[in-house]
Amino acid sequence: MGGLGLLHDHIAEVLLWCALLGLAYGLALASLGGLVVGAVAQEKTGVVTGINTILRTVGGALGSELAAVIVASSATAPGRPPEESGYTTAFVVAAAIALCAAAVTATRGAVTARPGSKAVNAELGEGR
């Protein structure tokens, strides 16, 4: 995200950053469900997948609103379009938040999978 905020002078740069962000989000969100389900007892999978969905939705809504406020605040006058600096600032702030989240995640211990979890054991070649 920070890359898109800082390197966006040519359309090729924008397309590259958008492709990388799309790939990263796709990989992260696709694996998150399996990690969540594999970390809890089987009878709790419905609850935790619901909580996971709610938190992703709330996070997306808050992130969108924060970006909209940052971009809109860069307009020089009411009714005028936002300045480029507003978009740049929004992407840099998003990157900083993502780095903070990554740092918090890195300091937490590994999630212990429940025994017999197919979500985890499939990687090990078990459970087939």
Query: Mean pLDDT over residues 35-50, rounded?
Result: 86
- The pTM of the whole model exceeds 0.75: no
Q: Cβ neighbours of residue 97 under 8 Å, at least 6 residues apart?
A: 63
pLDDT at 58 (0 to 100): 95
pLDDT at 71 (0 to 100): 93
Q: Cβ neighbours of residue 52 under 8 Å, at least 6 residues apart?
A: 32, 33, 36
Q: Residue 123: helix, strand or coil by DSSP?
A: coil
Asked whether 34 and 40 are in contact (CB, 8 A), the reply is no
Confidence of residue 54 (pLDDT cuts 50, 70, 90): very high
pLDDT (tens digit per residue) in 61-91: 999 999 999 999 998 888 888 998 898 999 8
pLDDT (tens digit per residue) in 10-19: 788 888 888 9
Sign of the dihedral defined by the CA atoms of residues 55, 61, 67, 70, in that order: negative
pLDDT at 14 (0 to 100): 84
Asked whether 76 and 85 are in contact (CB, 8 A), the reply is no
Q: Cβ neighbours of residue 100 under 8 Å, at least 6 residues apart?
A: none
CB atoms within 10 A of CB 91: 22
pLDDT at 62 (0 to 100): 95
